[in-house]
Amino acid sequence: MLGLSVACARCHDHKFDPIPSRDYYALYGIFKSTQYPFPGTELYPHAKDFVALDPKNAKRLKDYQDETSDIDHHLRGLMDGVEGKDLTKEDREKEIWRLKDRMAVLEHDAPNIAKLYAVSEGTAADGKILIKGEPKRLGDAVPRGFLTVLGGQTLPPDERGSGRRELAQWITDPVNPLMARVMVNRIWQYHFGQGIVGTPSDFGAHGDRPVNPELLDWLASRFRESGYSIKAMQRLIMKTRAYQLASDHSALDAKIDPKNDYGWRFARRRLDAEEIRDAMLAVAGDLDREMGGPHPFPPEVKFRYTQHTQFFAVYETRKRSVYLMQQRLKRHPLLEVFDGADPNATTPKRTAEETSLQALAMLNGAFVDEQADLLAVRVGMAFPGDADRIRYAYRLVYGRPATPEEIAECAQYLVQTSAAMKRSNLPADRQPRAALASLMHVLLASDEFVFVD
């Protein structure tokens, strides 16, 4: 949200941007005073410090999580021998079985409470400087606060909370020059494929300079005036002449601005992975536009994942890709092929490489095959004749009319494919649909479908 990198200030003052080491620990104190949820591990399998969706259930959830977590730690201590050293072997085993029996009761009666993987208030405390980043070399305590270069505000002396609320207020303070600029730059990048600042997560000395600082300032001002409305900013950008331009080439403009920094044409871009999937579902008439719901995970009390028996799943859905389950250990097959975001790190910019794997996924992928078949059903039921079906398919897939040459070429393709189907082992009643599905597959796998001009 601030377009800054502060990690190196853990060990020393930032060498390039005006961020002293004290600023790092002023922020560190806020996060140190925050409670983070523990999802469980192989040795300590029960979750802890998740937040109840309904505050009325907070105490009940906390009691359950605290007790199961405590039993996990006691069991591990007894089995490793670090607890109960004064117990005999027989008494230790009795205690282990007593704790396991209690855990079985807890899991059998586990509360069915909707919960959030969210932070909550922890024990408020200022952080101490770690000299040269070494945890054992403690320096002065630093009052929790904000970056000096952006105001340097600190928490009131009587503040008993973590400071997260105040941090949010400092970030969104109208006098803070960075947040609005960083945000509108990201929104611009999502629409144009390239931000006004080419390094969306680095507005510092080593980041790119804005190609049009006046435009960036103007957009940031409109963003603040709208009450930080992302929807209003989307509408404003999409109504601009720059966004509505085509990607046609101009030799004169290219000579003046070869990188298209000033947006004299729309920079042709490939759809993101999620956009490709959603677009195929939409044109095939297979997109479920309802909001997403919970994934069919196994019951939580059965979560027993180890280093060698990890959890992998792909929960197929016809809802929009924003509702797909994303795992850090294994990415979604289609999204991975088309450069989806790495779940293990922030991804300020997507790569947009064209690879042979993408072509193979388009030609042989089961998902594309299925959508082509459904699209064939859609256009086949809409019109009886090939020419009308082709025209309808072009409107659906490309959003434009088919040219006479394209209609003739597609009609010839259908004739050839139908002849090939007759020589196959496919039942005769399925051959017409299969031939039409083959043509639909060609349209979906084309450059025109996955690129925005």
Render pLDDT for 252-275 as a digit per residue (tens, 0 to 9). Answer: 999 999 999 888 999 888 999 999
Same domain, 199 and 263: yes
- Residue 431 phi, psi dihedral angles, 5° rounding: -65, -45
Residue that is last in its domain, among 267, 293, 323: 267
Residue that is last in its domain, among 240, 267, 294: 267
Helix, strand, or coil (residue 392): helix
Same domain, 127 and 31: yes
Same domain, 125 and 31: yes
Same domain, 218 and 106: no
| Burial (CB count within 10 angstroms: exposed 0-12, middle 13-18, buried 19+), residue 181 | buried
Same domain, 199 and 70: no
Structure tokens at 142: 């630093």
Same domain, 16 and 135: yes
Render pLDDT for 398-407 as a digit per residue (tens, 0 to 9). Answer: 999 999 999 9
Closest CA to 124 of 163, 159, 162, 157: 162
% of the chain at pLDDT higher than 90? 75
Residue that is last in its domain, among 137, 155, 171: 171
Q: Is position 314 within any domain?
A: no
Render pLDDT for 158-186 as a digit per residue (tens, 0 to 9). Answer: 889 999 999 999 999 988 989 999 999 99
Same domain, 205 and 102: no
Q: Is position 383 within any domain?
A: yes
Q: How many domains is the chain partitioned into structurally?
A: 4
Measured CA to CA, the distance from residue 271 to residue 194 in angstroms comes to 13
Asked if 281 and 311 touch (Cβ cutoff 8 Å), the reply is no
Same domain, 400 and 261: no
Render pLDDT for 324-374 as a digit per residue (tens, 0 to 9). Answer: 998 888 888 899 999 888 888 888 988 877 888 999 999 999 999 999 999
Same domain, 185 and 254: yes
Strands (E), 1-76: 34-35, 51-52
Structure tokens at 28: 């560190």
Same domain, 411 and 391: yes
Measured CA to CA, the distance from residue 335 to residue 367 in angstroms comes to 12
Closest CA to 450 of 342, 337, 346: 337
Q: How far, in whole angstroms, is CA 336 from its chain's centroid?
A: 13
Q: Is position 100 within any domain?
A: yes
* Residue 306, pLDDT score: 80
Per the structure, the complete domain to which residue 222 belongs is given by 179-267
Q: Is position 84 within any domain?
A: yes
Same domain, 381 and 232: no
Same domain, 97 and 144: no
Q: Is position 158 within any domain?
A: yes
pTM of the model: 0.87
Q: Is position 297 within any domain?
A: no
* Residue 239, pLDDT score: 95
Q: Is position 26 within any domain?
A: yes
Q: Is position 290 within any domain?
A: no
Render pLDDT for 296-332 as a digit per residue (tens, 0 to 9). Answer: 988 888 888 788 888 888 888 999 999 999 888 888 8
